[in-house]
Amino acid sequence: MPLEKLVITGGVPLKGVVRISGSKNACLPILAATLLTPELCVIRNVPDLADVRTMCALLKWLGVQVRHDRPGCVIETRAEKPVGVAPYDLVRKMRASVCLLGPLLARLHNCKVSMPGGCVIGNRPIDQHIKGLTRLGANVEVESGYVHAHCDELVGTDVFMGGRFGSTVLGTANVLMAAVLAKGTTIIESAACEPEIEDLAVFLNKMGAKIRGAGSPTLEIEGVKELHGADHVVIADRIEAGTFMVAAALTGGNIEIQGACAAHLGAVRDKLEEAGATVQRNNGTIRVTGGSLHKPLELTTMPYPGFPTDMQAQMCALMSITPGISVVTEKIYPNRFMHLSEMARLGADVALESNTAIIKGVNHLSGAPVMASDLRASAGLVLAGLAAEGETDIKRIYHLDRGYEHIDTKLRELGASVERLEDDDNNG
């Protein structure tokens, strides 16, 4: 397929209404969890994204019947006789494939999932996943590029999931999905509290699991013998919603965001208000009005409910045109700053000291060709392009398409000048 780019002519205050899609990061482990039962599962509000297509391809490879009804965003799965090997060719496309490990192990007691490998946002080890599954009684070896996990049975116990950078989201998902079919009770301490984990637990409970404490750092799971099919509506994507909130703030626009859960966005709301934007919650919608951005920010990324690392690049775009000196410390992925050098091409005044970015707000950004390096970096560049004067070409937007459903259409509906074009520059 030819590469595509986005061409953005910035400087338009975005106005109107945007509806938020289902959450990518909730949907991926939930799709993996359908491996836990031979019965029909129906997953609704599934976003149309490259990562979702990769997860469906993986499930099909594993022998799951997958029916994808695009207009209704519904995926139906039936994992009657899954096989236990997830190959490198599919796994390498998406790191989230690692969350097949827990459900495959629980269902088959023997599985091999390719090691997900490195990632441009930094080193992403899976030692905590392995530690957690081992605590449940699995033997886990890494051999020939595969994680091989096997056991006679999984037995509930206490598992601590906190690491150097806080709790692990997909690690918690893996241990949770393994523990639901383990013998006895598992207590996961320092579990990830992200809404996506809570949504996974809600889905698992609909399947017949017995999980208490979802959304808190302590999960108690009473293992059951088997799970049944379930029907579930995936929560809204809080990162997509946060991205549109920043879009309203940094273009001086006025956007009503529909379908998002405001309670999931407290940290983002707080920082936008601090910078000078107005955020109102009315009857299930969030309205963000740009006004004048006047205050630089100090921002540190943290596990939920702290400020999400997945919103850091977007906030860097905002800070690049907010007067004063802003300071951003990245505590989850210390090297997740690939967007800064591209933002500098648009005129942003940025410096990096270890895992801290120092951003001096400039009067204006000016459009230029830039290169997307990863999903959220791309979103940061789109926002910077929307604020910049003139034309910004963003290359390699396949990164963006992994996590934002129809972003160019949604932006156009808000008045932005955004075109998706084939990129005939082979170096781009």
Question: What's the DSSP call for residue 372?
Answer: -
Residue 248 CB neighbours (<10 A): 29
Note whether 128 binds ligand EPZ by CB under 6 A: yes
By CB under 6 A, the residues from 356 to 415 that bind ligand EPZ are: 375-376, 403
Q: How far apart are CA 264 and CA 268, in angstroms?
A: 9
Residue 243 CB neighbours (<10 A): 27
Residue closer to ligand EPZ (CB basis): 165 or 244: 165
Tokens representing 327 are: 């300071």
By CB under 6 A, the residues from 288 to 317 that bind ligand EPZ are: 309-310
Answer for the pair 134, 179: CB distance below 8 angstroms, yes or no. Answer: no
List the one residue from 71, 164, 353, 354 that touches ligand EPZ (CB under 6 A): 164
Report, in Å, the least distance between residue 162 CB and ligand EPZ. Answer: 9
List the one residue from 20, 91, 236, 332 that touches ligand EPZ (CB under 6 A): 332
Note whether 106 binds ligand EPZ by CB under 6 A: no
Which member of 41, 111, 119, 316 is catalytic? 119
Residue closer to ligand EPZ (CB basis): 129 or 252: 129
Distance of CA 106 to the CA centre of its chain: 24
Instruction: Identify whether 56 is a catalytic site residue.
Output: no
Note whether 96 binds ligand EPZ by CB under 6 A: yes
Question: Which of 129, 169, 118, 124 has its CA nearest to residue 306?
Answer: 169
Residue 20 CB neighbours (<10 A): 25
Answer for the pair 80, 60: CB distance below 8 angstroms, yes or no. Answer: no
Q: 348 burial class (0-12, 13-18, 19+ CB within 10 angstroms)?
A: buried
Answer for the pair 6, 393: CB distance below 8 angstroms, yes or no. Answer: yes
Note whether 215 binds ligand EPZ by CB under 6 A: no
Note whether 132 binds ligand EPZ by CB under 6 A: no
Note whether 169 binds ligand EPZ by CB under 6 A: yes
List the one residue from 44, 124, 150, 183 that touches ligand EPZ (CB under 6 A): 124
Note whether 165 binds ligand EPZ by CB under 6 A: yes
Catalytic residue IDs: 119
Residues that bind ligand EPZ (CB under 6 A): 25, 28, 96, 124-129, 163-165, 168-171, 196, 309-310, 332-333, 375-376, 403
